[in-house]
Amino acid sequence: MVFCAGLATGSAAQAAAPALEMIVLGSGGPGATGRAGSSYLLLVKGEPRILVDAGPGSFARLGEAGEVLGSLDIVLLTHLHIDHAGELPGLLKARAVSSGGPITFKIWGPDGAAAAGENAYFPSTRRFVELLFGPQGAFAYLRNFAAPITLETHDIATHGAAPPLPRVIHEEPGLIISAVAGHHGDAPAVIYRIDAGGKSITFSGDIDAKGLPALQRMARNTDILVFNTVVLDPPGSAPILYTLHTPPRKIGALARDVGAHQLLLSHLSPSTIELHDTVMVSIRQSYSGKVTAAKDGMRLEP
């Protein structure tokens, strides 16, 4: 893994840019810990193209990254908890004011709980976007505030026959995005993989034990596996949290089993930050590859 201090500018620099690069906009969780909530900006051949999650605080981190946003057009939401989706209006507005031309955002995220016949809190991603930006939405003005905006929103099925199988949701020359249903308690959730120029990054999202088989199918031989690391091994965290998240020992075992080349621990909680060495001991029981703890502003190249 290469840690990049920054990107050069100009046509020559773009030609020499890596096929795929990631900037960690937010490496924290729901608590106010000084880190932004979950969010990642992916550059394809040097151009920011893909936003994965939009947690609180990522608006500021995006500005600090210093990237020109004129090509940003894809948003992937792992689920609709506030610490993953709460900053979406601000980030779309940041993109809108970066240029005056028309913008088409392609947004993917989970279907809602109603798709499983459940009376629960979570709308589909289509409905979520409509509530924010639709004609009667909270931020309806944004559609034509700085630039004409078209929103193409797609729900990814998270309920149905088991086991869930990965499928390609977007493909263009040099870029493939795949998705599969994850599992995060009662919150419909999605796992994503981005492949570009022979390199790949896979995002676990928040995932419990029921979602590990799907992640195992998705993350085979991935260059970077971004794994949300919220809990300690049992009984180090509250019991309810193990119905929502994966403990370090299982993270290490899965990274080994899929042959991940690198492991990035992110969406960190106060306990996994404070007891990082303990987390590493658990992961090292199974996984011998490179392991890095994410920080806001970090740049990584597969």
Domains of the chain, start order: 18-300 (3.60.15.10)
Is the Cβ–Cβ distance between 206 and 78 less than 8 Å?
yes
List pLDDT tens digits, range 122-156: 899 999 999 999 999 999 998 888 888 999 999 99
* pLDDT value of position 5: 39
* pLDDT value of position 160: 74
Helix (H, G, I), strand (E, B) or coil at 243: helix
DSSP-assigned states of every residue in 131-149:
HHHSTTSTTGGGGGTSS-E
List pLDDT tens digits, range 6-52: 434 444 455 688 899 999 999 998 888 899 999 999 999 999 999 99
DSSP-assigned states of every residue in 61-119:
HHHHHT---TT--EEE-S---HHHHTTHHHHHHHHHTT-SS-EEEEEEEE--GGGGT--
For the full predicted model, state whether its pTM sits above 0.75. yes
Residue 138: half-sphere exposure toward Cβ, Cα within 13 Å = 8
C-alpha dihedral over 211, 214, 216, 220, to 10 degrees?
A: -150
